[in-house]
Amino acid sequence: MSGEKKEKRRHAVALRYNAQKDAAPRVVAKGSGLLADKIIEVAREHGVHVHEDAQMVALLAKVQLDSPIPEDLYRAVAEVLAFVYRLDQRMVSRTRTNTD
């Protein structure tokens, strides 16, 4: 393997947040390698934003499945969710503008 660049194994964590049901976002899927690729593929197929942050994934991967995220991650996850919400709003307004 000398001279070859070792490819890092991909990791993924999927969160779900339902403001009516959940006090905090929950970890609903996690995995590495092919499973991570499938999580990302399914998310994209369903129009779910994929945010890449290796440090956040490493922390969220420690959370048990179907468990809420720990309080010390609330702020970081809230910032990502707010960013995604703003992106979604921009896409909706662009779609409306283009169809009018």
Q: Please say if the pLDDT value at position 5 is more than 60.
A: no
3-state SS of the chain is: CCCCCCCCCCEEEEEECCCCCCCCCEEEEEEECHHHHHHHHHHHHCCCCCCCCHHHHHHHCCCCCCCECCHHHHHHHHHHHHHHHHHHHHHHHHHHHHHC
Task: Determine the Cα–Cα distance for residues 31 and 42; give it in Å rounded to an integer.
Answer: 13
User: Fold for domain 11-99?
Assistant: name from scop (3.40.1690)
Question: What is the per-residue pLDDT for 57?
Answer: 94
pLDDT band for 7, please (50, 70, 90 cuts): low
pLDDT tens, position by position, 30-89: 999 999 999 999 999 998 889 899 999 999 999 999 999 999 999 999 888 888 888 878
Q: Could you state, in order of their start, the residue ranges of all structural domains in the chain?
A: 11-99
pTM: 0.76
